[in-house]
Structure 1
């Protein structure tokens, strides 16, 4: 376990782990940290707490120092200036007739650099745009092309489940997502129903997949022959989340009945043979 604090750089933004070092920090404090973008001032979203080593992206950086009133005012001024920089950049993009969409703008704390994030279908020659922006802002300009998933992560929003986007809320890295995962989870293969707002397959398919793989292994598949409390039958439908099986009884005249998988004994057949659960430890008596 490692002691960390959660620091966020934008209101309702994602928190990042940093080591508090020897500083006594609590939620609501402002700190100065070094990031991939440069020196940043952020708010402590969660005070010191322990997290598993596996959840930390190494190397874990240490908080440089507590932020003072000057740092906080400068950060707030930067946030206000970012809105103006966004409008100016959009005007320059239209002027140069570039096929790109501006997503976000960030000032570093020391204002030595402005980062412009954009999306585009292909490669963009933005050299003239950079020169134009450098003449306006008189500082170092950096343009970064990002993907549509990164755009959703930065902007945030609500998913079809009604919850804030997983990518902007707690997912630290994007994982590969395949249509096979949707099939194994019994979802409709309609792209509109299994795609997020970014147009890509929903991230939740990936981190829910291990649970479905386990449940599919311990649940008799469609076509399995099982012994139920009311006789032998064939499984015609399964719900691995609730653990229920819809069984066509033998003889067929008996009809269809629903049982919990714990009530049924797997006999043979099916798309996949279930694994037996771990045996209960034997009680030792003297």
Structure 2
């Protein structure tokens, strides 16, 4: 999504907000909250909430107290408390909606994580901040060379300089635990800055980079998803999906987060389904489970002696057979229950292929017709030549 500033003019040239890679209006960033209370005034005698939300690089957001009662609005650049020194960020949300965001993230008003705002950023603060941001790409390139020289099994994904330029946070991904004590000494002595290492998961890395998923849309983690819940292979089993890691894994290499979206619906639908490891006892023999259609409420069983013939049964019918088996009774056959089923399988002859792809030799038929026409023309020419002779 983009705002009006990122649209094109009459000649098709992108307008842009002249912010050199960062949105200047705040509406292009990830997970931006729309301030629908901006045009509303507070009741008489009620003061404005003194905590604001400040946005930093890569959509990182924190809450800060406006203890000095500065006139702050969305889009202002402010200098906030950091450890050590100060940091520079952009105000992304003010007012009563900040309370909702703090409640959503379970942050209390008197929490130690809520620090204070020093001042509105001066021009000198902004110049130092931009100069530090301009160094990030070159520092990242040199840092990767240092990591390769030390032989550490880690990947430096991004670097974020603090607003005063005295500290840098190095974000990295690694499969195992990494001893980077020597790396910190090398980085601190090379760049003359305070170094902080922060490990991010593969899902967070994919959210930062972004991309297009197999569904054809932008990744959920880079657009709207805020909490990364664990995804297990049982979610795919409940939904009767093939356990193919190439199809179930996302761009981060982990199982797709969307496997959890419809899981609750499948679990509710499976409450009345019997266990698939229970055999159905009939006078014709034992019947074994083959497959199921969850939302149609159908299960397919086949006799153990004849596994090629599948019989479709409804959930209530299967539960009835299981109850009879528990009572020590056997049903005559499954066919008598299948005949009562309202859902009938379509015969193979009902399938029609309008494209003509049911035949592997469909391209050869045309050639044969042409050859037959040529032979007929040759025979006619020969006959006519004989008559003339």
Whether the 8 Å contact between 1:114 and 1:139 is mirrored in structure 2 is yes
Q: Which runs of 5+ in 2 are unaligned?
A: 1-47, 275-290, 299-311, 315-337, 346-389
Whether the 8 Å contact between 2:54 and 2:64 is mirrored in structure 1 is no
Partner residue in 1 for 2:76? 29
Check 1:19–1:182 CA distance in 2 against 1; reply closer, same or farther (3 A cut): farther
Partner residue in 1 for 2:104? 55
Question: How many residues of Structure 1 are paired with residues of Structure 2 in the alignment?
Answer: 238
Query: 1: CA distance between counterparts of 2:344 and 2:84?
Result: 61
Query: 2: CA distance between counterparts of 1:150 and 1:127?
Result: 24
Whether the 8 Å contact between 2:157 and 2:205 is mirrored in structure 1 is yes
Question: 1:17-62 CA distances to partner (integer Å, 9 max, x unpaired)?
Answer: 5256444443322223346897432223345452265412423625
- Give the TM-score of the pair, scaled to structure 1: 0.65
Deviation for aligned residue 1:80 = 0.8
Partner residue in 1 for 2:139? 85
CA RMSD of aligned residues (A): 3.8
Check 1:236–1:256 CA distance in 2 against 1; reply closer, same or farther (3 A cut): farther
Query: 2: CA distance between counterparts of 1:256 and 1:54?
Result: 53
Paired residues for 1:28-177 under 5 Å: 28-34=75-81, 39-50=86-97, 51=100, 54-58=103-107, 59=111, 61=114, 64=117, 65-177=119-231
Whether the 8 Å contact between 2:76 and 2:90 is mirrored in structure 1 is yes
Query: 2: CA distance between counterparts of 1:98 and 1:252?
Result: 67
Query: 2: CA distance between counterparts of 1:8 and 1:47?
Result: 12
Higher relative contact order at CA 8 Å, sep ≥6: structure 1 or structure 2? 1
Deviation for aligned residue 1:147 = 3.1
| SS of 1:141 mapped into structure 2 | strand
Q: Which has the larger radius of gyration?
A: 2
Query: 1: CA distance between counterparts of 2:212 and 2:143?
Result: 27
- Give the TM-score of the pair, scaled to structure 2: 0.50
Check 1:66–1:169 CA distance in 2 against 1; reply closer, same or farther (3 A cut): farther
Query: 2: CA distance between counterparts of 1:67 and 1:202?
Result: 41
Query: 1: CA distance between counterparts of 2:71 and 2:222?
Result: 28
Bigger helix fraction: 2
Whether the 8 Å contact between 1:7 and 1:43 is mirrored in structure 2 is yes
Deviation for aligned residue 1:204 = 3.4
- Partner residue of 2:253 out of 190, 196, 199: 199
- Partner residue of 2:63 out of 8, 18, 22: 18
Whether the 8 Å contact between 2:53 and 2:62 is mirrored in structure 1 is yes
Partner residue in 1 for 2:244? 190
Q: Which runs of 5+ in 1 are unaligned?
A: 224-234, 258-286
Query: 1: CA distance between counterparts of 2:259 and 2:343?
Result: 35
Deviation for aligned residue 1:183 = 2.6
Deviation for aligned residue 1:236 = 5.3
Query: 2: CA distance between counterparts of 1:220 and 1:139?
Result: 59
Whether the 8 Å contact between 1:116 and 1:143 is mirrored in structure 2 is yes
